[in-house]
Amino acid sequence: MRRFEGRVAVVSGAAQGMGRAVAERLGQEGATVVAVDINGDGANAAAKAIGGKSFGVACDIGDEDAVAKLFQSVASKCGKLDVLVNNAAIVPFVKWDELTFKEWRRVLRVNLDGLYLMCRAGSDLMRKNNYGRIVNFSSNSIFAGTPNMAHYVASKGGVLTFTRALATELGGYKITVNSVCPGLTDTEGVQQTPHKEAFGFVEMLQAIKGVGKPTDIVPAVAFLASEEAHWITGQALAVDAGMVRW
């Protein structure tokens, strides 16, 4: 399929994991992908792998000036924005008794403040053409109340409700805003944290057995980012092998 032929897509957290998988899929289907990551070398490598006119941008999405420069670059090089996938996030492992306000703010600065900044600048560019698809990454942890990550769960709950509110704000411009809620997924980031020990327990809760991979999440994101999903907005889709059924 070439559902994104002629489309311009910004994907955050594109250097690895689910963000990299989404960026590659959109590129395979014809999009010019702006691969965004705080890891500039990783962003450039992702863009190079995608090929075509895709390019990488090093950006701290929690920095207002950096995000403004990012979208100025998108506007000057591409002239428009059709798809925005907000995947970048900090996934911590901190026990409640060790959770400081500094750590709380570190996570929310990226996971919520960064989401706002990306959606603010991205939707402003989309509105110029009265078209857009925004897909935000929430998490099924908001339904499970996963331990050792209270600030992460709070931030991802905010992603879901912010998505619903933004869908209302942008519907008049033919811009859809949806969220996906992945389960525990085997990514480079997860493998560097104690969360890697939880796959066995999570699998017991899943209707479909197995370990989630980034490529298992991609099809749902690609669909919501496509023209086919024009009548879907303000929704949250759990992509977790049926761990959460709601």
**Owner of token pair 């500094």:** 102
Q: At residue 237, what are phi and psi to the nearest 5 degrees?
A: -115, 115
> Is residue 152 flagged as an active site residue?
yes
Reported as type and span, the H/E element at residue 23 is helix 17-28
109 Cα distance to chain centroid: 15
Beta strands 55-58; 83-86: pairing state:
unpaired
108 Cα distance to chain centroid: 15
Return the structure tokens found at 97: 């008794």
Reported as type and span, the H/E element at residue 74 is helix 64-78
In angstroms, rounded to a whole number, what is the distance separating the alpha carbons of residues 16 and 103?
Answer: 23
In angstroms, rounded to a whole number, what is the distance separating the alpha carbons of residues 160 and 208?
Answer: 24
Return the structure tokens found at 210: 């197995």
Q: Which of 116, 131, 152, 173 is catalytic?
A: 152
DSSP letters spanning 137-200: E--THHHHT-TT-HHHHHHHHHHHHHHHHHHHHHGGGTEEEEEEEE-SB--HHHHTSGGGGGHH
The answer to whether 195 touches 91, Cβ cutoff 8 Å, is: yes
Q: Give me the active site residues, please.
A: 152
